[in-house]
Amino acid sequence: MPGVFVLQETPEQSDFMSEALETIEEFVQSDYKYGFVSDIETETVPPGLNEDVVRLISEKKGEPEFLLEWRLKAFRHWQKMTEPKWPNVEYPEVNFQDIIYYAAPKKKKELASLDEVDPELRATFDKLGISLDEQKRLTGVAVDAVVDSVSVATTFRKELEKQGIIFCSFSEAVKDHPDLIQKHLGSVVPITDNFYAALNSAVFSDGSFCYIPKGVRCPMELSTYFRINAANTGQFERTLIVAEEGSYVSYLEGCTAPMRDENQLHAAVVEIVAMENAEVKYSTVQNWYPGDKNGKGGIYNFVTKRGICKGANSKISWTQVETGSAITWKYPSCILQGDNSIGEFYSVALTNNFQQADTGTKMVHIGKNTRSTIISKGISAGRGQNSYRGQVSIKKNAKNARNFSQCDSLLIGDRCGAHTFPYIDVQNTTGQVEHEASTSKVGEDQIFYLNQRGLETQDAVNMIVNGFCKEVFRELPMEFAVEAQKLLGVSLEGSVG
Amino acid sequence: MTTETQNPIEPCLAAHEKFADTADGPGWLSDLRRTGITHFTELGFPTLKQEEWIFTNVRPIQEHSFLPATKPTSSIPAVDDLFFSELSGSRLVFVDGHLSHALSKFADVPEGAIVTNLASALETHPELVEKHLARYAKTDESGYSALNTAFIQDGAFIYLPKGKVIDEPIQLLYVSTDGDSNTATLRNLVVAEPTSSCKVIESYQSAGEHAFFTNAVTEIRVDESANVEHCKFQDQNEESFHIATIQAQLAKACNFTSHSISTGSRIARNNINLVMNGEGIECTLNGLYIVGGKQVVDHHTLADHAMPHCNSHEHYHGVLGDRSRGVFNGKIFVREDAQKTDAKQSSRAIVLTDGATVNAKPQLEIFADDVKCTHGATVGQLNSEAVFYCRSRGIDEASARRLLTHAFAGEIIERISIEPVRERLEELLWDRLEELIEQ
């Protein structure tokens, strides 16, 4: 447990504190870098949701019968559901009839190569720092870029195909590998799972699909980049990752959106299936537009992510860095069904200004000797509200299951909040569950120490916060770790507790 | 069954109508009871869908027809065999929810202090009762607390004026019998004015075998620099149901300690809520539950740090055997401006059999930045290294486990400062643990 030291306030320190307050002010005002809008022609359907819209989306994508049926089933179920109210977040009611459920960058014809991608779009991705250019092999990351719910480009496909790896947009997968889709779609997150998962199942427009065949170790990081561009649209994408026996894949996900005054909805579903001895590592750096400093605008990020360790000795590891979105509400979960399977969850969630986050994980231990680790770091600043909500459930037959949870919160400023809601449910005597949580602020003495070593207060805070998040950052792949550190650095510019 | 369609709250409403007509008490009390029944009508009984009740199903309580008894029962149980009966000091015995004068004894108290039952206090000190009754506990917290308010009739009333100290522990003994009534509604009120001090033992026990329903609310007001130690012991028979709330309103620089020992009842729910309304408060919450069979024991605690510079320390231990279920939900709230708060919470449970379940939810909600808050929860078995150490010293495995389980429970018992109570509890828990381990 990290110790917290409290010093008596001395005159010098109150100077120091006022300086701290100024820097907090600065922090609160730091800007969102990705807020531009690209002028790309889009094709949209009228706002609103009914069976016809679902049919229209399905038709536009030329989907097989089974998928349309599946969507309609989800839609009918969704109509019977009510919006969940239990998360510790507050927002005005979403009018689901005001949302545009399908918006795609207009394509004139099928793209034969990347050169034909709309130059405006490529410029967008260049601005975001994502290279769609296959020549830049140095980065060594295969990217699937999704703009306004539609996949626009996927890189490195040929190379991956040689090993039998399928990495493409969801719509292509539906056309080329319908059997795989039919087998796995909804097997981890059924359409009835929750309100937003049902909505996503009815209207999802695209996403990524990834299939790693038996015994293959994916030679490069796979990555999806999500971008909301059009106004008033909701982004509903669906990611499905299937790792066959003995395979390995590391998957990255990043996201940004323009600055707009109205709130936009993002309701995605991610499903992961890991067979015997397979390992999937899923990393997210979420940087949707968080709204301005008065809490206006921003993305509602309501996401369902779940993986199932189906086979013995399989492993699923979630790592997330959540710095964006007006509201983040997601619980990447693991169902540990196979014996000896492992689930991991590493998370850094930062809320600033009026951002709210209710995030955490669920670890369901079903198989024998299953193990799970949860490390969650919440940072609240400004008027941000940060909640950790997690469930560890050890079922009757989960002999020798083991869980370790640690959730630490760091508070910067005195108008923010940190909350912890862990649920522990143990039904087996051999199960061992440990939960530990602490809340602290950036210690004045810690900053003082770094100051007297010649570091600026700002650098000191960055250093302390990075140290606080270290356990999570080291789980991220290299490229992402750098991006995540930079992101936190930008968001924390000048902040002192 | 065709009776399914009947709303389970209806018998209670009907009973209340009858009760309201005949019940004694001043006008404000009738109003209070009416508020209670109105809240109850709105709330009904809790269901599994309510966040506060998701782990504890109260359906079995509704399956019995428990109606609040309005008249004292005629039976006089033998209380001398019950726990703590040998303690000196005042002893108030409530049989099926009403004070039994024959069984109670009143020791001398300092001038101005009052130790009596609520029904008498309403006659002798109505203004004091009016000033404090139902001012601290919410009547709309749950259907049960609303129901309790609706049927307020008797309970303990303890009042300490400024600076008065009662050294001997005040014993409140609640006995349920197999008499004509099967429900007790109890409302206790403890008011400790500045710098006063007292120790209160609430113990709930059964003299009968039948199912019995206890619905108790204890309101405790601790004023500036006062000191109150409250010990609640619940060991009713395994057919019984027990729902209790302790609401403590704490003022500047006071000291409050609560112990909750729960071993009995089929379903036992304890809500312990502390509101820290002043600076420099020290409070401690200890809890121990040892259950087997199909028992369910549920503790919900809330430490509400509304003001800066307060400390709260919470330790709960549980031992579960057979097919029992233990629930722990501990909340710590640190309000904006409640800086320099030091809040600790730890919940540990040992599961002896595969059928037993633990649901723990240690919850922190923090709105201030200069605070020290930690919570920890563990569920599991005995430390295998500790068992190994004992074995290396020549103690066989069964004995080692027994020894360590006793030590685990003992950690909570030894925090009770009232020595005779501690000794009696140690004996009792030793037997209970033996029974559980034998199974």
- 3-state SS of chain A: helix, strand, coil percent to 5? 25, 35, 40
Residue B155 carries which side chain, given as an amino acid letter?
G
Of A1, A418, A497, the CB nearest to B366: A418
pLDDT for residue B200 is more than 90: yes
Predicted ipTM of the assembly: 0.70
Residue A151 carries which side chain, given as an amino acid letter?
S
CB B147 within 8 A of CB B40: yes
Rounded distance between C-alpha atoms, residue A439 and residue A229, angstroms: 37
Across residues A343-358, what is the average pLDDT?
88
**pLDDT value for A143:** 65
**DSSP structure class, residue B45:** S
Residue B216, exposed/middle/buried by CB under 10 A (0-12, 13-18, 19+)? buried
Confidence of residue B7 (pLDDT cuts 50, 70, 90): confident
**CA end-to-end distance (rounded Å), chain B:** 37
Rounded distance between C-alpha atoms, residue B439 and residue B436, angstroms: 5
Give the phi and the psi of residue A377 in degrees, each rounded to 5. Answer: -120, 120
CB A363 within 8 A of CB A391: yes
Confidence of residue B302 (pLDDT cuts 50, 70, 90): very high
pLDDT digits (tens, 9 = 90+) for A130-141: 555 443 443 445
Number of domains chain A contains? 1
Residue A295 carries which side chain, given as an amino acid letter?
G
- 3-state SS of chain B: helix, strand, coil percent to 5? 25, 35, 40
Of A411, A425, A435, the CB nearest to B369: A411
User: Across A403-412, A488-497, B156-165, which has the greatest mean pLDDT?
Assistant: B156-165
What contacts B49, CB < 8 A, 6 or more positions away? Answer: none
Q: What is the mean pLDDT of chain A?
A: 78
- CB contact (8 A) between residue A431 and residue B365: no
* Token pair listed for A371: 């193990």
Neighbouring CB atoms inside 10 A of B17's CB total: 10
pLDDT for residue B156 is more than 80: yes
Is B262 a member of any domain? yes
Of B336, B360, B370, the CB nearest to A424: B360
Q: Contacts of residue B351 in chain A, CB cutoff 8 Å?
A: 426, 428-429, 431
Across residues A314-332, what is the average pLDDT?
89
**pLDDT value for B280:** 93
pLDDT for residue A128 is more than 70: no
Of B368, B376, B379, the CB nearest to A436: B376
> Partners of B156 in the beta sheet?
B117
Q: Contacts of residue A428 in chain B, CB cutoff 8 Å?
A: 351, 354
pLDDT digits (tens, 9 = 90+) for A33-76: 666 666 666 667 777 788 888 888 888 888 888 899 999 999 99
Shortest alpha-carbon distance between residue B54 and chain A (Å): 11
**pLDDT value for A105:** 62
Is B266 a member of any domain? yes
Give the phi and the psi of residue B346 in degrees, each rounded to 5. Answer: -140, 135
How many residues belong to chain A?
A: 497
Shortest alpha-carbon distance between residue A400 and chain B (Å): 10
Q: Longest Cα pair distance anywhere in chain A, in angstroms?
A: 74
Q: What is the mean pLDDT of chain B?
A: 88
Rounded distance between C-alpha atoms, residue A151 and residue A174, angstroms: 13
Rounded distance between C-alpha atoms, residue A136 and residue A382, angstroms: 40
**pLDDT value for B62:** 82
pLDDT for residue B327 is more than 90: yes
- CB contact (8 A) between residue A419 and residue B380: no
- CB contact (8 A) between residue B374 and residue A432: no
Of B362, B369, B372, the CB nearest to A414: B369
Rounded distance between C-alpha atoms, residue B103 and residue B76, angstroms: 8
Cα–Cα distances (Å) from B266 to A8, A302, B234, B246, B389, in that order, read 51, 41, 11, 20, 37
Rounded distance between C-alpha atoms, residue A288 and residue B439, angstroms: 56
- CB contact (8 A) between residue A424 and residue B361: yes
Spatial CA neighbour of A346 closest among A484, A490, A210? A484
What contacts B388, CB < 8 A, 6 or more positions away? Answer: none
Confidence of residue A22 (pLDDT cuts 50, 70, 90): very low
Rounded distance between C-alpha atoms, residue B155 and residue B164, angstroms: 22
* Token pair listed for A210: 């990834």
**pLDDT value for A42:** 66
In this complex, is the C-beta atom of B437 within 8 Å of any C-beta atom belonging to chain A?
no
Of A1, A420, A426, the CB nearest to B379: A426
Cα–Cα distances (Å) from B338 to A52, A448, B270, B343, in that order, read 54, 24, 26, 11
- CB contact (8 A) between residue B375 and residue A436: yes
Looking up tokens 């600055």, which residue turns up?
A259
Rounded distance between C-alpha atoms, residue A158 and residue B381, angstroms: 53
E strands, A297-361, where?
298-309, 315-322, 327-330, 333-336, 342-351, 356-359
User: Across A153-167, A222-236, B199-213, which has the greatest mean pLDDT?
Assistant: B199-213
Shortest alpha-carbon distance between residue A80 and chain B (Å): 18
Domain that holds residue A369: 44-442
Q: H or E element: which one contains B249?
A: strand B241-250
Is B80 a member of any domain? yes
Spatial CA neighbour of A216 closest among A182, A181, A173, A245? A245
**pLDDT value for A10:** 37
Across residues A230-237, what is the average pLDDT?
71
Residues of A with CB under 8 A from a CB of B: 1, 4, 6, 86, 396, 409, 411-441, 497
> Partners of A7 in the beta sheet?
none
- CB contact (8 A) between residue B379 and residue A418: no
Rounded distance between C-alpha atoms, residue A202 and residue B78, angstroms: 68
**CA end-to-end distance (rounded Å), chain A:** 19
In this complex, is the C-beta atom of B379 within 8 Å of any C-beta atom belonging to chain A?
yes
**pLDDT value for B216:** 94
Spatial CA neighbour of B240 closest among B276, B201, B211? B211
- CB contact (8 A) between residue A440 and residue B372: yes
Spatial CA neighbour of A228 closest among A206, A203, A251? A206
Rounded distance between C-alpha atoms, residue B299 and residue B434, angstroms: 23
More confident residue, A154 or B99: B99
Is B74 a member of any domain? yes
- CB contact (8 A) between residue B369 and residue A437: no
Confidence of residue B52 (pLDDT cuts 50, 70, 90): confident
Confidence of residue A232 (pLDDT cuts 50, 70, 90): low
* Token pair listed for A278: 């397979």
pLDDT for residue A221 is more than 90: no
Across residues B160-177, what is the average pLDDT?
92
Is A240 a member of any domain? yes
CB B129 within 8 A of CB B118: yes
Shortest alpha-carbon distance between residue B400 and chain A (Å): 17
Q: Where are the alpha helices (DSSP H) in A81-144?
A: 119-127
**pLDDT value for A432:** 84
Q: Could you tell me which chain B residue has the CA closest to the CA of A416? A: B367
What contacts B224, CB < 8 A, 6 or more positions away? Answer: B194, B195, B251, B252, B253, B254, B278
Is A329 a member of any domain? yes
* Token pair listed for A53: 């819209």
Shortest alpha-carbon distance between residue B331 and chain A (Å): 9
Across residues B171-200, what is the average pLDDT?
91
**pLDDT value for B246:** 95
pLDDT digits (tens, 9 = 90+) for A418-432: 888 888 888 887 888
Is B143 a member of any domain? yes
pLDDT for residue A204 is more than 50: yes
Helix, strand or coil, per DSSP, at residue A389: strand
Is A235 a member of any domain? yes
Q: According to the 3-state scheme, what is the secondary structure of B70-111?
A: CCCCCCCCCCCCCCCCCCCCCEEEEECCEECCCCCECCCCCC
Rounded distance between C-alpha atoms, residue A236 and residue A265, angstroms: 8
Across residues B315-319, what is the average pLDDT?
94
Across residues B164-183, what is the average pLDDT?
89
Domain that holds residue B45: 2-277
Mutate to test the interface with A, among B331, B339, B379 (most CBs of A within 10 A): B379
Across residues A409-415, what is the average pLDDT?
81
Across residues A430-450, what is the average pLDDT?
82
Shortest alpha-carbon distance between residue A259 and chain B (Å): 29
CB B90 within 8 A of CB B168: yes
pLDDT digits (tens, 9 = 90+) for B59-83: 888 888 777 666 766 667 777 777 7
Is A138 a member of any domain? yes
pLDDT digits (tens, 9 = 90+) for B336-365: 888 889 999 999 999 888 888 888 888 888
Rounded distance between C-alpha atoms, residue A355 and residue B359, angstroms: 31
Number of domains chain B contains? 1
Establish, for the pair of chains A and B, how many residue pairs have beta carbons separated by less than 8 Å. 120
pLDDT digits (tens, 9 = 90+) for A238-292: 889 999 999 999 888 876 666 666 777 888 899 999 999 999 999 888 877 777 7
Rounded distance between C-alpha atoms, residue A199 and residue B344, angstroms: 41
pLDDT digits (tens, 9 = 90+) for B77-136: 777 777 776 778 899 999 888 898 888 888 888 999 999 999 999 999 999 999 999 899
- CB contact (8 A) between residue B336 and residue A415: yes
Q: Longest Cα pair distance anywhere in chain B, in angstroms?
A: 70
**pLDDT value for A219:** 83
Out of A5-9, A95-99, B39-43, B54-58, pick the least confident. Answer: A5-9
Interface list for B 329-368 with A (CB within 8 A): 336-337, 339-340, 349, 351-354, 356-368
**pLDDT value for A51:** 86
Helix, strand or coil, per DSSP, at residue A76: helix
A89-A374-A5 Cα angle (round to 5): 80
Cα–Cα distances (Å) from A90 to A83, A348, A358, A409, B295, in that order, read 13, 21, 11, 20, 38
CB B37 within 8 A of CB B146: yes
What contacts B8, CB < 8 A, 6 or more positions away? Answer: B44, B45, B62
Residue A312 carries which side chain, given as an amino acid letter?
A
User: Across A20-29, A89-98, A199-208, which has the greatest mean pLDDT?
Assistant: A199-208
**Cα dihedral A104/A109/A110/A113 (nearest 10):** -100
- CB contact (8 A) between residue B337 and residue A427: no
Spatial CA neighbour of B139 closest among B39, B273, B13, B34? B39
CB A132 within 8 A of CB A155: yes
Rounded distance between C-alpha atoms, residue B25 and residue B424, angstroms: 39
Looking up tokens 């400093």, which residue turns up?
A293
Q: Could you tell me which chain A residue has the CA closest to the CA of B335? A: A417
E strands, A172-297, where?
206-212, 221-227, 237-243, 248-256, 263-266, 269-274, 279-286
Across residues B378-383, what is the average pLDDT?
82
Confidence of residue A12 (pLDDT cuts 50, 70, 90): very low
In this complex, is the C-beta atom of B377 within 8 Å of any C-beta atom belonging to chain A?
yes
**pLDDT value for B141:** 81
**pLDDT value for A18:** 43
**Cα dihedral A115/A117/A121/A122 (nearest 10):** -20
